[in-house]
Structures are given as structure tokens and as C-alpha cells.
Amino acid sequence: KITPHTSPAPRRRSHTPNPANYMVPTSASASVANAVSQPPSTGQVIQKETVGGTTYFYTDTTPAPLTGMVCWLSICSCLEFVSAELPKANAPSFFMADELRQELINRHLITMAQIDQADIPAVPAEVDSYHSLFPLKPLPPPNRIQKTSNFGYITSCYKAVNSKDDLPYCLRRIHGFRLVKTKCMVLVDMWKKIQHSNIVTLREVFTTKAFGEHSLVFAYDFHAGGETMMSRHFNDPSADSYFTKRKWGQHDGPLPRQHAGLLPESLIWAYIVQLSSALRTIHTAGLACRVMDPTKILVTGKTRLRVNCVGIFDVLTFDNSQNNPLALMAQFQQADLISLGKVVLALACNSLSGIQRENLQKAMELVTINYSSDLKNLILYLLTDQNRLRSVNDIMPMIGARFYTQLDAAQMRNDVIEEDLAKEVQNGRLFRLLAKLGTINERPEFQKDPTWSETGDRYLLKLFRDHLFHQVTEAGTPWIDLSHIISCLNKLDAGVPEKISLISRDEKSVLVVTYSDLKRCFENTFQELIAAANGQL
């Protein structure tokens, strides 16, 4: 049980280092040699390694390893057994980026959040086919009389799981609403057909008495971790000081944006591209958004927008006396463009006060000073009355080549995520391999044979498990190396003809087998377990 000598340093390196980064002048060779020969100190140590006959030098910032122990690979700090190691700049990564992993973990935690039913009895255990309801915002008090300014009704929002597909959804409840006729479901069916990357998809609408009164519930896709544009950009009370304290027209030269506290123009154009794309899809389908408002626009990640609560106004304000439910859509679509202009103007001013009538002139001065003429012209076009019906397609020339910038950013983001996904695909493959191996090793009994896991092919797999996880150094301390584990598992999965020495725990037996033999034993044994589980033995 000594450190394996089949994996020397050159083979355990992730890649051949770049000589331009690590080679040092000849005059420094003596001092480097002394630094290498001395014990590691608390500071940086220059390490030396020979690969293919060429000597490379590099600065090692990792802590000094234990005597006789060599750790050639450092991984993410989330892994406890190597959390003390600091990753080198040229070390490979077998896992996704920390930022993406943390974002996904946060989304998962939000998705799995639950409440104690005894603490909030007002939340029912089930609503229609949905269960595990979790309030996404504070519930309104039961004696509340005032209604929301957005929809004219008291509303509440929940995360729930659909028992039909076990997926999370967002349920938006309209309190005290009783749906008399179902003619409005024609519009709901039209909304359900819209699938767009910048629109929260409406899945279904139903009525219920599960909350103790008549309620109308809209079920949408659930996007964990999303926040409204209002909370992201307009939650700073000091932002409104623009229109109360600054003396317009008395400044010298253009106002520096970093001092003004305004949003970058590139971010505003990114939002314009997404919101206009959503409106274009909605208007092409013959519908109107009617919720183009900072309180109804979700922001996920850094710059991803989704228009939320679509279809609610169409149901709440539906006129059953109208023969054509789409008669007023052209008028609502024109209102959408005005609402889009207000949103863009508020973003450009970084304040909702900018869209108030008394502040419009000051707001446009701010846009003129700090942003391009294209952005100013787009806002003016959207907010100014025209002699003809306007279309969202009319602002495409104003966006111009900025659309390609957003397309390029989206594709680059996709490349990064695909690269991280490729890492996790391999990790998933190795996990399935370990899961199968775990069902075989140390099984107490199989087919009434208590020695099944200690005999035949299973004994080889047990010794391989020890070779995989229970290596020790020459000093008898645990030898932990993730690259050794990954390398051996990959060889087992591929069934390579390379030979391996397996030593029994009492060190009295040494078995020399190939990985192809181990793979055959592994597959036959696991298939035997599967056959027994399916009642075929």
C-alpha cells in the first residue's frame, strides 16, 4: 500500500506548461535551484518540473504538502477533502464555474422552498392540481379593503408544484373574482400558444374556492431567482433627487455618466432589444401586452428580461357584450408602445420620476446630454403621438447594429454554458459508474449468500475500490488525488488493456488484471443485480 508509481509527475500534469510563462534567465538558475531544494516557506516558492526533456519553472502558491504526499490537482473549495488547497492558475477545472454553480444552487434552493402549513393556515395544501404552495411575496391581510393599482383586485403570488408533471409553476391569484362566462378563454388559448424567450409563458387559467372564496388563478412558468425591474433599478430613494436638486442648464459641458449615477447605454439597449422582441411576438399574434411596466418585468441573471403577468388584463377587463374579442387590440398595441417608451425613459433617467408629465422636459435633457441621439429619437418616437398607427418594427432601424451586439453576447454566453455543461456531462457519467460500483461493493447478502461480495468477480471489484479510494503514502498517511480517481474510472469505463496491480488488505495477495477484465466483471455483476431486482433470477 504505497503511493502508485504508475502516475509520475509529467503524466499527472493537466497540460504541458507554456515555457514563455515559466522559464527564467540562466543567471537566476542558481537561486532557483536553492529555492527548490529548500523546504517550502509561507511565501511563494518557485517549483521545477521536467517534461519531455525540458525543464520548466513556475511559481507555486499552494500550501506545503504533507511529507511524501503529492497533490497534483486542486479543485473547487466546495469539495471538503481538498478545501485546504488553493488552485493554481494553470490547473484544470473539472467543474462548472463558481458563479454559474452558485446561481444554479440559489435557484434550486428557491425552487425547493416550503412552508410549515401550521404557520400559514391561509395557504391551502392543494389548489386544483397544484400542491406545496409557497408565497413569493407577503400575503395581504385578510381584512384588506384597498385593491392593487395594477389590476384593480387584491392579488397574491405563490410557487407551486403541479402533480401532473412535478414541475414548479407560479400561481397568481386574483382574490374575490368570479368568472361568469368563459368567452375570454379564447384569448387565454391564444396566450398559451406564445412561446418566447422574453415572455413568461401562461400555462392555464382556472377558478377555485380552495382559498375560502371565489378566486381566479393564472399559472405561469416559474423562473427562480427573478426580481422585478422595479426592485432591480428603481428601488433607490435617492435617485429621484435628479429632478429636485440639480440645477438644469447650469452645468459646464457634458455630465460624466459615472458621476450622474446613470445606467450604461449598452445595458439600456440590451433591455430595448429584449422588450421590443417580446412586443413584436405578442403583436404578431394579434394580442397586446398591456403589462409593460417595471413592476411586471422580471430580471433574471444579469440582463435577462421576461414580461410577466401577460393575459391577466384580457380576462379581468373582458367585455362579454363584444362580438369580436380582438376589436380593441389595435388600440392596446399603441398603448404598449407608449408604455415601452416610458420604461426606456425611466431606465435612461434611472428614476420613475422622469416619466411624470412635469419632469418630461428635464428627463429628455438628461437623455440628450448623456446618451446617443438614437436613444433619444427612439424615446421621442415612442412617446410622441403620430398621425398613423405605429408598429414595433418601426424602431428596428434605431436599434441598428446594436442588435448584433446582443446576438453576439447571447451566443458567447451560450458557448460558456455549453463548456460548463460538457464538464458536468462527464461528471454525470462518472457518478453513474460510482453508483453502480456502490451497489456491488460490501453487499451484505445476495441470493442468500453472505459471502457473495467477497468472492469471484466481486472480490476483484472490492480490491479495485481500495485501489481507487484507499491509497496511502510511503509514510502511511492517506494519499488523496482526484486525478488518480478520475483516471482510473475513465479507464474502467473504456475497458482499456492496461494492466493494474490489485493488492489485498492483508498484503498477502497481488492480482494483476487489465481494465478490460475489470469492466467485464463489473458489467456482468451489475447485470446480475438488475436481473435479481426484476425477478428474473
Are 339 and 297 a contacting pair, CB within 8 Å? Answer: no
User: Judging by beta carbons within 10 Å of its beta carbon (0-12, 13-18, 19+), is residue 208 exposed, middle or buried?
Assistant: middle
User: Closest Cα partner for 329 from 305, 306, 311, 309?
Assistant: 311
Rounded Cα distance between 130 and 162, Å, is 4
Are 224 and 108 a contacting pair, CB within 8 Å? Answer: yes
Domain 423-534, architecture per CATH: Orthogonal Bundle (1.10)
User: Judging by beta carbons within 10 Å of its beta carbon (0-12, 13-18, 19+), is residue 187 exposed, middle or buried?
Assistant: buried
Q: Name the E strands within 266-357.
A: 297-300, 304-307
Are 433 and 492 a contacting pair, CB within 8 Å? Answer: yes
Backbone angles phi, psi at 513, to 5 degrees: -135, 165
Laid out side by side, the sheet with 304-307 consists of 227-228, 297-300, 304-307
In the chain, how many H helices and how many E strands? 18, 13
b/e string for 74-91 if b means 16 or more Cβ within 10 A? bbeeeeeebeebebbeeb
Whole-angstrom CA distances from 487 to 161, 446, 483, 484, 503 are 40, 30, 6, 5, 19
| Confidence at residue 24, expressed as pLDDT on a 0 to 100 scale | 36
Are 157 and 173 a contacting pair, CB within 8 Å? Answer: yes
Whole-angstrom CA distances from 439 to 59, 433, 522 are 43, 10, 11
Are 184 and 191 a contacting pair, CB within 8 Å? Answer: no
Rounded Cα distance between 440 and 306, Å, is 48
Are 345 and 357 a contacting pair, CB within 8 Å? Answer: no
Are 317 and 335 a contacting pair, CB within 8 Å? Answer: no
- CATH topology for 111-245+261-393 is Transferase(Phosphotransferase); domain 1 (1.10.510)
Residue 511 carries which DSSP code? Answer: E
Is this structure's pTM higher than 0.85?
Answer: no
Q: What stretch(es) of the chain map to CATH 1.10.510.10?
A: 111-245+261-393
Q: What stretch(es) of the chain map to CATH 1.10.287.3700?
A: 423-534
Rounded Cα distance between 317 and 205, Å, is 15
Residue 82 carries which DSSP code? Answer: G
Q: What number of other Cβ atoms are within 10 A of residue 192's Cβ?
A: 15
Backbone angles phi, psi at 233, to 5 degrees: -120, -20
| Confidence at residue 117, expressed as pLDDT on a 0 to 100 scale | 84
C-alpha cell at 75: 479543485
Give 24's contacts (C-beta < 8 A, 6+ positions apart).
32, 46, 57
Give 218's contacts (C-beta < 8 A, 6+ positions apart).
171, 172, 174, 202, 204, 205, 309, 311, 312, 315
| Confidence at residue 448, expressed as pLDDT on a 0 to 100 scale | 81
Laid out side by side, the sheet with 126-127 consists of 126-127, 130-135, 155-162, 168-175, 215-221, 202-208
Task: Give 334's strand partners.
Answer: none
Rounded Cα distance between 178 and 175, Å, is 9
Quote the crossing angle between the two packed helices 265-284 and 329-349, to the nearest 10°: 170
Rounded Cα distance between 254 and 240, Å, is 20
Rounded Cα distance between 433 and 487, Å, is 13
Rounded Cα distance between 334 and 332, Å, is 5
In order along its 537 residues, the chain shows pLDDT tens digits of 343 444 333 333 333 333 333 333 333 433 333 433 344 444 445 555 555 455 555 555 544 433 333 332 233 333 333 333 444 555 557 788 888 889 999 999 999 999 988 888 889 999 999 999 999 998 888 766 555 556 889 999 999 999 999 999 999 999 999 988 888 999 999 999 999 999 999 999 999 999 999 999 999 999 999 999 999 999 876 666 555 555 444 444 454 444 468 999 999 999 999 999 999 999 999 999 999 999 999 999 999 999 999 999 999 999 888 888 888 999 999 999 999 999 999 999 999 988 988 889 999 999 999 999 999 999 999 999 878 889 999 999 999 999 999 999 999 999 999 998 888 888 889 999 999 999 999 888 888 888 888 888 899 999 999 999 999 998 989 999 989 999 999 999 999 999 999 999 888 889 999 999 999 999 999 999 999 988 876
Are 487 and 466 a contacting pair, CB within 8 Å? Answer: no
Q: What number of other Cβ atoms are within 10 A of residue 371's Cβ?
A: 20
Are 174 and 191 a contacting pair, CB within 8 Å? Answer: no
Q: What is the helix (H) or strand (E) element at residue 501, kind and residue range?
A: strand 499-503
| Confidence at residue 41, expressed as pLDDT on a 0 to 100 scale | 42
